Amino acid sequence: MIETFDATLPHGITLSCRAAGARGRPLMLFLHGFPEGAFVWDALMQRFAQPEHGGFRCVAP
C-alpha cells in the first residue's frame, strides 16, 4: 500500500513524499525527473516493499 506524507527539512522546506514498506527496513529511494511526479514509481515501490523482493522501505519524494 502506498502512503503519502510530508517530510519537513531544515529551514522549513517541506517535501511531499510517497512510500511503501515497513519503517525500519533498508531504504530504497526513488527519484523522478522533471516533469514527472513521485506517483510514477508506485508499481516498483509496491514490488520492492514485498518481502520476497527485498522488503525495502521505498520512498519517493
Residue 26 is predicted with a pLDDT of 98
Q: Is 61 exposed, middle or buried (0-12, 13-18, 19+ CB in 10 A)?
A: middle
- Domain ranges for the chain: 3-60
Q: What is the pLDDT of residues 6-54, one digit of tens each?
A: 999 999 999 999 999 999 999 999 999 999 999 999 999 999 999 999 9
Instruction: List the Cα angle 28/53/47 in 5-degree steps.
Output: 70
Which of 31-39's residues contact partners 24+ apart within 8 Å by CB, and which partners? 31/60, 31/61, 32/60
User: Is the full-model pTM beyond 0.85?
Assistant: yes
